[in-house]
Structure 1
Amino acid sequence: MDINHWQGRLAELCQAHQVPGASLAVLADGEIHECATGVLHRGTGVEATTDSLFQIGSITKLYTATLIMQLVAEGALDLDAPVVSVLPEFAVADAVATKTVTPRQLLSHTSGIDGDFFHDTGRGDDCVAAYVAACAGLGQNHPPGVTMSYCNSGFTVLGRIIEVLTGQVWDVALRERLLDPLGAHSTMTLAEDVLRFRSALGHLGEPGEEPVPAPVWGLARSAGPAGTINATAADVVRFARLHLDGGRTPDGTVVLPAEHVAAMQRPFVQLPATHAHHMCWGLGWIAYDWPGGRVIGHDGATVGQKAFLRVVPDAGVAVALLTNGGVPAEVYQRLFSELLTETTGVTVPDFEPPAEPPEVDVTRYVGSYVREGYDVEVTEQDGVLHLRGESIGELAAINAVTTAVLVPVEEGLFAARRNEHEPWAPVVFYTLPDGSPYLHFSMRAAPKG
């Protein structure tokens, strides 16, 4: 691999799409290749380097899922037994969900629990336990098991299961049971540990505008099992290598039995209009339906930072891109398409509306769609749908309002983007088996009010 070529391409794309800084790592032919570009903080001008730590956001969920599957392999946890059989104190607002939600549903984002509950319960070692207690008032997006809706809350609950069954706080269990065996010595969860390294700050701003340093560094510690890992890109592909090598570390240590590694990667639940998303969900991993070969991966987003991980198991290739602002989705789309095509023959599919959109009855989709942490209003003007999404609750202060025109692709499926600087994203209007109307946007399901 000519890493100098990809260094130049990374720098070119980041400059074109206003990404302040980025780090890239590629595992190919058994070797890790690294490069970086830009700055970690536009206010200080500190250079981004390959040993810099970025926030990987929800890629953290793969680490938590791996710890859960370790416990399954050890016989300590049944994925299909109710969560309350392990956490008797677990409760949400819906009595049926409280009694029936399982770890498998939490891993696959099918529990229906309102997912974007970012509740800060402090910095103590009891923060995850306190978060689970605070879930008692959390509502349901949908009944358990009937559809997929991305659920951060569920992964903090899984983190509490890990704490109860190991007798360790999640951060310690992660370190001792996974990071140390992997040799991932530049992977941290706590701010005071990140301070020992060069670390990135997120940047915010509308696409097309110069991003500025974010007013907040990261998420609350209580969100740890769902998204607080900081790491180098190389450490992220070291983690991915574990899942390429059947659960074994480079020295042969079995961290997770091969059958449990395989179970995590198998598609488990489809998304509405899954052909538009080009993906299904497994137990932690996303399984991508891309031309050229089987791909698994995950993305992560925090306050002004975005991370991407893609793995091609049949080729033994893993790629991690960590960024701190701008329009990183465009950098990812172009860079990964080029890089994966060259190294594996896999191409990243594009999603976009047809040149001549079909005529559809848009009036049926007008209305309000509300879920925990986000409120969507769909309106119609001159036969065209407009979407307005607004963060509510604890993230309202740092997340901007999203507005987009919805372009028809087919009945019930639309393409949306804020402006020409961003890639298109699917927006799906659909119904549950009981006929209830729903909106699926940004991997989340929201009922029509």
Structure 2
Amino acid sequence: MIAQRFDRTQHFDNAQQFDHARWQARLDELRAAHRVPGATLAVLTGGQVHELASGLLHLGTGVEATTDSVFQLGSIAKVYTATLIMQLAESGTLDLDAPVLDVLPDFATADPAATPLITPRRLLSHTSGLTCDFTYDGGRGDDCLARYVRAARGVALDCPPGIAVSYSSVGYNVLGRIVEVLTGQTWDDALKDRLLTPLGLTSTMTLPEEALRFRTAMGHLGADPEPAPAWDLMPRSAGPYGRVIATAGDVVRLAGMHVAGGAGVLAPATVAAMQRREVEVPDKWTVSADAWGLGWTLYDWSGVPGFGHDGASIGQYAYLRVVPGAGVAVALLTNGGGARRLYADLFAELLGELAGVRMPEPFGPPVEPVAVDFSRFAGKYRREGVDITVDADGHLVYEFVGGMKNFSPPLEADLVPVTDTVFAAEAAGASFSDDWMPVIFATLPDGTECAYIGMRAAPKQPA
């Protein structure tokens, strides 16, 4: 067992003894049941970090997963970028409510009227209107983020700034570029110098060649998992929104800093601000979220507040949940198979025992059918990289287009009503690593009808 004492500024009265042998057996059992090739788990409880590993990093080579193995974190990288931004805001270097143009004079969007309304706060809380699935390879040079931000100028917004939430990777790359301009460093170097080194996160990195020093997980695809055709599909310019590689233990140590009120890296008031609700979300099922803070997904588990984030790359899925009142943080890193089901089963047991949390039941159709007129939702919905078609019988086609065309095959599914605006689409075999995909139809404050899938708003197109 690896158990590291975690320095913190608060005490947790309800700390419990962590039964390593029992949780190792449970991790092994659930991982095998859900056909996840390999997984690592880290748990912060009682001021200590406990690390476990199970299965294989690569089914082709048979290399075993160990607690010092590194995985791709996908969108959990956004938490790291948000933390850097909040350091700059805390120091007075950055005003979260001033236009991004104040820092990046060449920043622009496809809507000139919207551009000056976009602020760092809106970028952090996914309310900027900037879209998510715009891919652009800015090259390997130190100017890759500057090139990305320039290339994104002509990309259509999902919605006007400030009126609704729409999950945005583009927005986090703009935040990464802000970090570069204000620190005079690349995003990668700023992350190392300002966050990783002060926290002693020696098994966290941003570049693929850095991962060669470690036992590294390979992603796997399909219900019968097979190694993915490539280890990584992300360019260097994806760093601020999706390219951090780490051990589960290092992920929990980062979360532990937030649990401990900043631990000298951030001020307690800044940590609290990141966990404060900025916007409610219409899609409360994709990651079982209730709201967004500044970088964090926020949860309300039957009155118990928490925060966290999920992440995905090619065949790798990462989950982080934190219950600050109990001093508990849990990170699970996986490399394929039924990762979402492993997360749901394991975290329900862990957080229930260690933090008194009752997690929601997995999303799916209700026991009693709901009668809905599908014709009012029929039509085409579009956002950058994705086309969604819904017919009058409730048949959905979700297709990646443009630069995302080869990301995943089109998904076709019949929508099953959960409520009169919330539907479940069977997503088995898709890239969502789940049984049922939430589809939510909503009308934005400006009257725009949209479909939310993956927390991203796709506006309805004119007939």
Do the structures match in fold with TM over 0.5?
yes
Matches of 1:439 and 1:150, distance apart in 2: 13
Matches of 1:419 and 1:120, distance apart in 2: 30
1:80-100 per-residue CA deviation (whole Å, 9 max, x = no partner) reads 100011000111111012222
Aligned to 2:260: 245
Match of 2:39 among 22, 31, 51: 22
Correspondences of 1:68-79 after superposition (within 5 Å):
68-79=85-96
Q: CA deviation at 1:273?
A: 5.4
Match of 1:375 among 375, 380, 387: 387
Q: CA deviation at 1:292?
A: 5.4
Farther off after superposition, 85-94 or 290-299? 290-299
Correspondences of 1:152-301 after superposition (within 5 Å):
152-205=169-222, 208-248=223-263, 254-272=264-282, 274=284, 277-291=288-302, 293-301=304-312
Amino acid at match of 2:21: N
Farther off after superposition, 214-223 or 178-187? 214-223
1:340-361 per-residue CA deviation (whole Å, 9 max, x = no partner) reads 1011110210233221122111
1:72-121 per-residue CA deviation (whole Å, 9 max, x = no partner) reads 01101001100011000111111012222111110000111122112111
Unpaired runs of at least 5, structure 2: 1-17
Secondary structure of the residue aligned to 2:364 is coil
Q: CA deviation at 1:155?
A: 0.4
Aligned to 1:320: 331
Secondary structure of the residue aligned to 2:114 is helix
Unpaired runs of at least 5, structure 1: 249-253
1:275-306 per-residue CA deviation (whole Å, 9 max, x = no partner) reads 89442111000111212511100000111111
Matches of 2:196 and 2:317, distance apart in 1: 21
Q: CA deviation at 1:416?
A: 2.4
Number of residue pairs the alignment of both structures matches: 439
The two structures have a TM-score, normalised by structure 1, of 0.95
Structure 1 runs of 4+ with >6 Å offset: none
Q: CA deviation at 1:404?
A: 2.5
Contact 1:184 1:235 in 2 (8 A): yes
In structure 2, the CA distance between the partners of 1:76 and 1:278, relative to structure 1 (3 Å rule), is closer
1:26-74 per-residue CA deviation (whole Å, 9 max, x = no partner) reads 0010111111111111222111110000001111111100100000011
Secondary structure of the residue aligned to 2:58 is coil
Matches of 2:303 and 2:437, distance apart in 1: 22
Matches of 1:59 and 1:104, distance apart in 2: 18
Match of 2:341 among 310, 330, 336: 330
Matched, 1:394 2:406: no
Contact 1:43 1:213 in 2 (8 A): no
Q: CA deviation at 1:218?
A: 4.0
In structure 2, the CA distance between the partners of 1:380 and 1:10, relative to structure 1 (3 Å rule), is farther
Secondary structure of the residue aligned to 2:163 is coil
Matches of 1:104 and 1:8, distance apart in 2: 43
Amino acid at match of 1:145: G
Amino acid at match of 2:173: T
Matches of 1:75 and 1:242, distance apart in 2: 21
Contact 1:214 1:303 in 2 (8 A): no
Aligned to 2:359: 348
Matched, 1:59 2:68: no
Secondary structure of the residue aligned to 1:96 is coil
Q: CA deviation at 1:386?
A: 2.1
Contact 1:72 1:78 in 2 (8 A): yes
Contact 1:214 1:304 in 2 (8 A): no
Matches of 1:267 and 1:116, distance apart in 2: 25
Matched, 1:2 2:19: yes
Matched, 1:144 2:144: no
1:237-291 per-residue CA deviation (whole Å, 9 max, x = no partner) reads 000001000101xxxxx11111110000111101115489442111000111212
Aligned to 1:45: 62
Farther off after superposition, 60-69 or 431-440? 431-440
Secondary structure of the residue aligned to 2:113 is helix
In structure 2, the CA distance between the partners of 1:17 and 1:401, relative to structure 1 (3 Å rule), is farther
Q: CA deviation at 1:394?
A: 2.7
Secondary structure of the residue aligned to 1:266 is coil
Amino acid at match of 2:382: V
The two structures have a TM-score, normalised by structure 2, of 0.92
Matches of 1:156 and 1:296, distance apart in 2: 22
Matched, 1:431 2:443: yes
- Identity among equivalent positions (%) equals 56
Matches of 1:116 and 1:165, distance apart in 2: 26
Q: CA deviation at 1:411?
A: 1.4
Q: RMSD of the alignment, in Å?
A: 1.6
Contact 1:204 1:212 in 2 (8 A): yes
Aligned to 1:124: 141
Contact 2:173 2:241 in 1 (8 A): yes
Matches of 1:79 and 1:417, distance apart in 2: 40
1:174-205 per-residue CA deviation (whole Å, 9 max, x = no partner) reads 00000001110000101111111111111122
Q: CA deviation at 1:425?
A: 3.6
Matches of 1:278 and 1:120, distance apart in 2: 31
Q: CA deviation at 1:210?
A: 3.1
Matches of 1:182 and 1:362, distance apart in 2: 52
Amino acid at match of 2:139: G
Contact 2:428 2:436 in 1 (8 A): no
Secondary structure of the residue aligned to 1:176 is helix
Secondary structure of the residue aligned to 2:348 is helix
1:375-402 per-residue CA deviation (whole Å, 9 max, x = no partner) reads 1111243xxx122212223332232322
